[in-house]
Amino acid sequence: MKKRIVLALGGNALGKGLAEQMQAVHTTASALADLIQEGHELVITHGNGPQVGMIHQAFEAASATPAHSPVLPMSVCVALSQGYIGYDLQNALRETLRARGINKTVTSLITQVRVDPRDPAFNNPDKPIGSFLSPETAQRLSQEGVNVREEAGRGWRRVVASPMPQEIIEIESIKALLAAGQIPVTVGGGGIPVVADGNQLHGASAVIDKDRASAVLAQALDADMLIILTAVEKVAIGYNTPYQKWLDRMSPKEARDYIEAGEFAPGSMLPKVEAALAFAESRPGRQALITLLEHAADGIAGRTGTVISQ
């Protein structure tokens, strides 16, 4: 059965730098083309954690040069990351589709996502961006007023606020692209975070979780399935313990119980399961799948991955 699918690419689909990304997108494009060739209608979203941090750090470094270039706000950094990630993705997918004789247009859309300025996340920045920092650099940045946090056993990283997505501003443009038979690449990095002030939209200093934004997008598009691609084939409880158990399926109640029991790590699997849960219980018949990119087709067919549905 052919489905309308919102597919959220994880960081492993994009690499950790420009050179890695240019290689990774070709592998990613091949897996996406397999789904398109099966007749599924795809809307592609993606993360931007390493990329947006790299952009922000570059402009911060430039501000310390004799040119005194301005440090760009986080919302502009997200927009820049959408542009160059989308550029690589759409070109790689277009090339792969044409090699298979599939004449479909792939379009990257600079996408804004409205957030609530009163969201408590603004008072507790916790979304890691950019590369890991040495303890000395982390201490210096903290003294300069930059929010940093240590990830257990891995090192220090910058953190920014991660408010909940409320609305996809360009939703009608995405619908128009789908109606025209195009493949949209949208809500990159969770979308450019904006707050509404009457008819105006103002950028917010934040990064929105791409899986949560993808769930909001999937609901607005009345998608059949939300696929969240990550670095493991299935979701596990008791992860990395002697009691580890891989899960094939979860009902919304089971997912909620596992969340309350603290089975999923914040900043890692937790937001993915929460996003999948939000979509799955938004309407009967909707399914969310969490799996590896290379197993997406098997997951849709029910042969692997973790499915959350009512």
Residues with catalytic annotation? 11-12, 127, 210, 272
Q: Return the number of other C-beta atoms located less than 10 Å from residue 187's C-beta.
A: 31
**Cα 188 from chain centroid (whole Å):** 7
Q: How far is Cα 41 from Cα 83, in angstroms, rounded to an integer? A: 22
Which contiguous run of DSSP H or E holds residue 259?
Answer: helix 252-260
SS3 (DSSP) at 299? helix
Q: How far is Cα 102 from Cα 33, in angstroms, rounded to an integer? A: 9
One-letter identity of residue 270: L
Task: Return the half-sphere exposure (C-beta side, CA atoms, 13 A cut-off) of residue 154.
Answer: 9
Burial (CB count within 10 angstroms: exposed 0-12, middle 13-18, buried 19+), residue 262: exposed
